[in-house]
């Protein structure tokens, strides 16, 4: 499977493992223009004209049973950039709307004709964002009001200017741009309130959105999806396809999607993501690094939306719209996930999404590998009907670095292979109330979430040979994902360990016994930023050094035995953090070929000395 680099994909139940997002534009001959300068210098005019007004936008609201439904409704545009030019085109005033979208500024005295613009961007102490129309032009959207001031005027009210949500009223559908803007404002408001930090404001993010446009077309084409581009602090929001918005998938009014992608931005800016990106859905066991990143983003959107709608508990994606008395469209839910469910089902209409389980978990530790289980766990953990753990503690475990040379949060440079177990190991130290701790443990256990790294990337310690207890591996048959590709069950058929390599020559060995006559354990070692490969691919990757695989143990399928050892030399390998995978060979095997349990130990051989590698948990 080719790697989908640099992209976090929003829709939970849409596969998106594809052609490799390299960061190059689709048109090599078209260059990006610089974003226009922000209008920030406020002018003072003695005896000038006081200009007032209100900036608002329209959006299509989500009906949790029908999708986007009904006539557009309006809301305010807070803290947005204002620029005023005179008849000669010169900028005479700059400013910003207030938190309620009100316009209040002063213009020079005397007769003139002015054009006031409210832009879809902000560089204030409350919000830093640019919602831009085109990846190449880099210009924000604008609401415009042109008005005349008479010679003796001292005040002028320009009334309400509104960004529309209907194409029949606005060819660019500016309401979509300002709805994106407003959701990110709400995210910053939530973070200020929930963390108790009234001065919080996230770094600037650029958001690219255009009516009827699939942002993947900037990068050579791809699925109809929104995504975040790590390292660039850029969000790309789906505007439709081929100019259409009435009956196709769009995300500019899907607040769950917008805030999900902003959650990825916050992870990039405040924590650190180890996610390899790639295909994911709401009912499949996936790489724990990817599961954590997607689970966090799913949770974050629900937390923000619940802050202004106390009944909100969903992740919702829609397609098209319906119920508009002016414009006709065909709308429906694509996916609806209830964050309060316990092993529940995704409720959506119509087919095919009404029969999809939402990451049901049944075995301790399995939640580490399931994104929606992580989302449900986090949402219930911070809910007043759950453990009521304050979001400030979640944010602290998420964004903290080191304390006294020890990692206390995911932002620590000592953290690696970030997953929900690692996050929980930090969070549990911040929950000190006994009742809250008990409730938190109950919810963790309900969603089969660990509070250590036992189930993924556990630390290894060298000790005297044969002192570690053997580990048991009971593999299961490969699973078919939403792309109809057979994949190894990462939870049952693999054990992953974090290994700190000092750069000296040594070898890693796995020694195993037990299981069926067809069971064979393999040993793989990956670099820190690897992309997990299935068996049908990883031997080629191992030979070529691609995909982040450092070494693969040799094996012969024709001579598989239920006991043996496999070994990888680390001679010449640079010092660093690596991931060891003890994997059962499951490709193309039926359940009867995998019955039983293999028991194994990991060992390190150096200078003719053999020691055990013991897991920390």
pLDDT tens-digit readout, 202-211 = 999 999 999 9
Backbone angles phi, psi at 441, to 5 degrees: -65, -35
Domains of the chain: 8-31+203-446 (no CATH), 458-615 (2.60.120.380)
pLDDT of residue 357: 54
For the chain, the distance separating the N- and C-terminal CA atoms, rounded to the nearest angstrom, is: 32
Locate the DSSP E strands across 502-562: 507-514, 521-527, 549-552
Mark 95-121 as b/e (b = at least 16 C-beta within 10 Å). Answer: bbbbeebebebbbbbeebebebbbbbb
pLDDT of residue 561: 58
Spatial neighbors of 221 by CB under 8 A, at least 6 apart, are 26, 214
Which of 165, 81, 77 is closest to 118 using CA atoms? 81
pLDDT in tens, 498-533: 999 999 999 999 999 877 666 789 999 999 999 998
Which of 374, 424, 375, 429 is closest to 398 using CA atoms? 424
The three-class DSSP label of residue 526 is: strand
CA count, 13 A, side-chain hemisphere, 205: 33
Confidence of residue 563 (pLDDT cuts 50, 70, 90): confident
Distance CA 552, CA 566 (A): 9
pLDDT of residue 596: 87
Q: How many CB atoms lie within 10 A of CB 252?
A: 28
Residue 113 near residue 94, CB atoms below 8 Å: no
pLDDT above 70 coverage of the chain, percent: 90
Distance CA 603, CA 613 (A): 5
Distance CA 216, CA 543 (A): 32
Q: Work out the average pLDDT over 315-340.
A: 93
Token output for 412: 């620590």
Residue 186 near residue 179, CB atoms below 8 Å: no
pLDDT in tens, 428-444: 999 999 999 999 999 99
pLDDT in tens, 408-418: 999 999 999 99
Task: Kindly report which listed range (85-94, 173-182, 464-473) carries the lowest average pLDDT score.
Answer: 464-473
Residue 95 near residue 79, CB atoms below 8 Å: no
> Residue 21 pLDDT more than 90?
no
Token output for 72: 């557009």
pLDDT in tens, 266-323: 999 999 999 998 887 777 899 999 999 999 999 999 999 999 999 999 999 999 999 9
> Residue 22 pLDDT more than 70?
no
| DSSP code at position 259 | H
**Greatest CA span in the chain, whole angstroms?**
98
pLDDT of residue 14: 38
> Residue 559 pLDDT more than 60?
no
pTM score of the predicted model: 0.93
């Amino acid at each position: 499977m080719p790697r989908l680099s640099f992209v976090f994909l929003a829709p939970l139940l849409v596969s998106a493992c594809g052609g490799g997002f390299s960061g190059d534009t689709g048109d090599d001959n078209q260059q990006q223009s610089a974003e226009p300068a922000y209008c920030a210098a406020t002018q003072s005019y003695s005896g000038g004209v006081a200009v007032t007004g209100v900036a608002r936008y329209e959006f299509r609201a989500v009906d949790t049973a029908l999708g986007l439904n009904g006539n557009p409704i309006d809301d305010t545009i807070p803290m947005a950039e204002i620029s005023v030019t005179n008849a000669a085109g010169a900028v005479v005033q700059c400013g910003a709307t207030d938190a309620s979208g009100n316009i209040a500024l002063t213009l020079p005295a005397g007769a003139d004709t002015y054009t006031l613009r409210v832009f879809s961007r902000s560089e204030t102490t409350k919000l830093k964002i640019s919602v831009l129309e085109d990846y190449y032009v880099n210009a924000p959207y604008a609401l415009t009001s042109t008005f005349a001031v008479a010679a003796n005027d001292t005040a002028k009210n320009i009334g309400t200017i509104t960004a529309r949500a209907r194409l029949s009223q606005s060819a660019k559908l500016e309401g979509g741009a300002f709805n994106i803007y407003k959701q990110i404002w709400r995210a910053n408001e939530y973070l200020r309130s929930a963390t108790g930090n009234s001065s919080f404001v996230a770094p600037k993010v650029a958001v690219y959105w255009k009516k009827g446009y699939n942002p993947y077309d900037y990068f050579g084409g791809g699925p109809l999806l929104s995504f975040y581009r790590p390292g660039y602090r850029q969000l790309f929001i789906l505007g439709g396809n081929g100019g259409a918005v009435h009956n196709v998938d769009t995300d500019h009014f899907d607040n769950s999607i917008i805030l999900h992608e902003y959650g990825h931005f916050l992870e990039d800016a405040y924590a650190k993501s180890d996610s390899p990106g790639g295909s994911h859905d709401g009912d499949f066991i996936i790489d724990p690094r990817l599961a954590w990143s997607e689970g966090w983003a799913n949770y974050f959107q629900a937390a923000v939306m619940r802050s202004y709608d106390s009944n909100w508990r969903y992740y919702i994606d829609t397609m098209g719209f319906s119920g508009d008395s002016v414009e006709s469209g065909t709308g429906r839910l694509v996916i609806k996930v209830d964050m309060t469910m316990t092993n529940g089902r995704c409720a959506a209409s119509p087919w095919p999404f009404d029969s999809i389980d939402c990451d049901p978990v049944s075995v301790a530790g399995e939640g580490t590998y399931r994104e929606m289980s992580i989302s449900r766990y986090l949402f219930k953990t911070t809910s007043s009907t759950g453990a009521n753990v304050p979001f400030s503690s979640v944010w602290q475990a998420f964004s903290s670095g080191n304390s006294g040379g020890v990692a206390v949060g995911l932002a620590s440079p000592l953290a690696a292979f970030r997953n929900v177990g690692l996050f929980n190991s930090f969070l549990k130290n911040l929950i000190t109330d006994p009742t809250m701790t008990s409730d938190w443990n109950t919810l963790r256990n309900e969603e089969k979430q660990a509070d250590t790294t036992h189930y993924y990337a556990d630390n290894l310690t060298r000790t005297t040979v044969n002192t570690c207890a053997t580990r048991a591996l009971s593999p299961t048959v490969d699973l078919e994902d939403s792309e109809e590709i057979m994949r190894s069950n990462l939870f049952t058929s693999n054990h992953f360990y974090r290994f700190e390599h000092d750069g000296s020559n040594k070898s890693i060995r796995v020694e195993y016994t037990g299981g069926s006559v067809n069971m064979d354990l393999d040993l793989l070692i990956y670099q820190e930023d690897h992309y997990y490969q299935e068996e049908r691919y990883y031997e080629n990757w191992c030979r070529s050094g691609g995909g982040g695989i450092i070494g693969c143990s040799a094996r012969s399928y024709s001579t598989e035995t239920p006991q043996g050892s496999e070994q990888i030399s680390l001679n010449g390998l640079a010092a660093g953090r690596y991931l060891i995978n003890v994997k059962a060979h499951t490709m193309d095997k039926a359940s009867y070929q995998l019955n039983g349990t293999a028991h194994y130990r990991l060992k390190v051989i150096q200078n003719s000395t053999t020691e055990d590698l013991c897991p920390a948990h």
